[in-house]
Amino acid sequence: MLRALVLVLLVANLGFWAWSSGALEGLGLGPARERDPARLDQQVRADAVRVLPPSAALAALNSASAASAPSPTARLALQCLEAGPIALALLDTAERALAAAGLPDGAWLRTRHDVAEQLGVVLGPFASRDALQKKREEISRLRLPMEALELPGDGANSPLQPALALGRYDSRSAADAALASFSQRGVRTAKLAVLRPASSEIHLRVDSATPEQAEKLRGLSGAVLGAGFAPCAAAAR
């Protein structure tokens, strides 16, 4: 039994050696060869392969990249246009106007612009023009900048009354610092007033308007869209 097992192993080893060495290739038996002729047989259009110098290879790569990218003319033809601010109550009417102009659904989007509170260092309001003129002369002697404006009176239903603003500021800290500076220069009756409350504005924006769409958009204006469409704020900067 042991002799038969040894004989089987010997025959198997001789067969593997003959197969791996290529002695049986005449019979169509043998392992896959990784020699150059075998690899050439697997190539597709091997005669089209060319070895290029570095400069020519870089030029070919740049040419292929430019061909796959959108042309500059096509990119410049698309425009970003927006209109606003648009009152919330008129937003649906404004969007119907865009649809009537031929823009497909999804061609525009609503954007919200947050408007910061604006504070002013002000004098007044003054109950009479004489009081206003007296304060104006006083500020002129101090060589301080001033701006005429109107503020609500003391009563709940009081009409707007004349006042003076020494400056406008978009942050509370800047307004407080300015008020302290004016006080040090002799302006004792100045105070802070909200000239514009914080709010949010809604705009309608078309990010990629074609030349035909841009022409139609610029023709839209009126009570709903105000001055109409203009280049987007981000693109104008």
In this structure, are 123 and 192 located in the same domain? Answer: yes
Q: Which domain holds residue 94?
A: 77-115+199-236
Instruction: With respect to residue 35, please indicate whether it lies within any of the assigned structural domains.
Output: no
pLDDT at 3: 75
Number of domains the chain is built from: 2
Strands (E) across 48-152 are located at 79-83, 109-115, 118-123, 147-152
pTM, entire model: 0.47
Locate 134 and state its tokens.
């007296």
Q: Which residues contact 216 (CB under 8 A, 6 or more apart)?
A: 101, 102, 103
pLDDT at 74: 46
How far, in Å, CA of 225 to CA of 94, rounded? Answer: 6
pLDDT, averaged across the chain? 79
Q: Has residue 187 got a pLDDT over 90?
A: yes
